[in-house]
Amino acid sequence: MSTNDSATTGERKSKARSKQPAKPTAEVGSTVPRRQLGRHLRELRQQTGMSIAEVAKLIERGATTLQRLEAGTADRIRLWDIEALCRVLGADETTTDALKGLAQQGNTESWWHEYGDLIPKDFDVYIGLESAASKLTSFQELVPGLFQTPGYAETLIRAVFPEEPSSEITRRVEMRMHRQRLITRKGRPAAVDVILDESVLRRMVGSPRIMADQLRHLADLSTKPNITVRVLPYVAGVPLGDLTGPFTIVDFAPDAKGKHEPSVVYVENFTGAMYLEGLGSVSRYRAAHETIGRVALGAQPSRDLLRRAAREYERER
């Protein structure tokens, strides 16, 4: 979800923030690239209908090696293994380059992913993380991608990709709408607890009609039992004494053995995204969200404000 998604969660490649986070030096080596690599490999394999043993045989590696790659627990990742897997699994060129890029960044410290560095710009790394989430906790300064209406999403995407044809813009909008099934599906939808800065309601995106539709949509979504939407009003000031910028904490459900993947904080800025999984970093962002939440409006007052703002935009149409 945006921090995920001001312009997209991962698609925002050219909007600059005045501050760019420094690359951390004190965190433990990040497992995020390896876990993301594993998710994509597993998804590709499942699409072919082949078992781990069958694929491992085709690339002349042991099943245990492939199992560790898919689980994101491989200590050593060989690029030729990734190339062989992509060939066998029918990955396209963009996906192959992206997975090789993830493999090369599999042992870095808390991971700073610069758009278009080792991984192609058109490959959204965050989506894999989001799709595996059981809960997303965030603070946002634009409507998150998971909550966007087609009109709102199209306006932002066109601003990010002004040279692309309408067919490609339509494809990107459809992809974003597809992502929203994560929180609207009937079976075990992900939980979302988002706090929106009041500027989200006041900043015009597109037109008054688009804004009215978007704010009504937010209010309607907030009635679902798995979704909490609150607004941080201007009168609350700066509850932390400093600006955090948008962020999303991603939590995961336990696997079949009851083990949890480490939670990840996703912080997107103008040129890339930071993935933090150190316990200290995650705890600080959780505390920040709790502090902001204490001065944000409650769920019902926030819903009322969203609907009131939507009516105001409708009068401007």
**Domain's final residue, options 107, 140, 167:** 107
Q: Residues of the chain with pLDDT > 70: what percent? A: 85
CA–CA separation, 214 vs 309, rounded Å?
10
Q: Please spell the DSSP secondary structure of 156-189, one letter per residue.
A: HHHHH-TTS-HHHHHHHHHHHHHHTHHHH-SSSP
pLDDT tens-digit map of 30-66? 678 888 888 889 889 998 999 999 998 998 888 888 9
* Whether residue 8 has pLDDT greater than 70: no
Question: Does residue 57 sit in the same domain as residue 159?
Answer: no
What CATH number does the domain containing 61 carry?
A: 1.10.260.40
Assign 149 a pLDDT band (cuts: 50, 70, 90): very high
Tokens of 161: 């990709």
Give which of 96, 248, 240 is closest to 182, Cα–Cα: 248
| Assigned token pair, 122 | 């058109």
Would you state the pLDDT for residue 110?
58
Please tell me the distance from the alpha carbon of residue 195 to that of residue 198, in angstroms, as a whole number. 9
Last residue of a domain, one of 107, 135, 163: 107
Whether 277 and 143 share a structural domain: yes
4 with 70, same domain?
no
Tell me the CB-side half-sphere exposure of residue 84, using CA atoms within 13 A: 13
Q: What is the CA radius of gyration of the chain?
A: 20
Check whether 13 has a pLDDT greater than 70: no
* Whether residues 195 and 290 fall in one domain: yes
Residue 61 and residue 188: Cα distance in Å, rounded? Answer: 36
Q: Looking at residue 116, what is its pLDDT?
A: 62
As a whole number of angstroms, the distance between CA 275 and CA 226 comes to: 25
Give yes or no for a contact between 207 and 150, defined as CB atoms under 8 angstroms apart: no
**Dist. CA 207–CA 295, nearest whole Å:** 30
Q: Model pTM? A: 0.74
pLDDT value, residue 12: 42
Go through the chain and tell me how many residues it has. Answer: 317
Count the domains in the chain.
2
Residues 103, 189 within the same domain: no
What pLDDT was estimated at residue 23? Answer: 40
Domain check: are 75 and 155 in the same one?
Answer: no
Q: Are residues 165 and 246 in the same domain?
A: yes
Same domain, residue pair 53 and 187: no
Query: Which is nearest to 274 in space by CA: 111, 123, 144?
Result: 111
Looking at residue 253, what is its pLDDT? 85
Q: Which residues neighbour 49 within 8 Å (Cβ) at sequence distance 6 or greater?
A: none
Q: Which of 29-43, 220-234, 262-276 has the highest mean pLDDT?
A: 220-234
Which of 107, 124, 152 is the C-terminal boundary of a domain? 107
Whether 4 shows a pLDDT value over 90: the answer reads no
Helix runs in the chain, H state only: 32-48, 52-58, 63-71, 79-89, 93-104, 125-131, 150-160, 166-179, 181-184, 199-202, 208-221, 279-295, 299-316
Question: Is 194 in contact with 140 (CB distance < 8 Å)?
Answer: yes
Residue with the bigger pLDDT between 152 and 32: it is: 152
In this structure, the answer to whether residues 10 and 117 fall within a common structural domain is yes
pLDDT range class, residue 130, cuts 50, 70, 90: confident
Give the mean model confidence (pLDDT) for residues 97-123. Answer: 69
Relative to beta strand 227-232, strand 191-197 is parallel
Both 92 and 190 in one domain: the answer is no
Domain that holds residue 61: 31-107
CA distances from 294 to 177, 288, 304 (A): 31, 10, 18
CATH number of the domain encompassing residue 257: 3.30.870
Q: What is the pLDDT of residues 195-207, one digit of tens each?
A: 999 999 999 999 9
- What pLDDT was estimated at residue 111? 66
Distance CA 317, CA 212 (A): 9
- Does residue 6 register a pLDDT over 50? no
Confidence (pLDDT) at 312: 96
**Together in a domain, 142 and 71:** no
* 64 and 128 both lie in a single domain: no
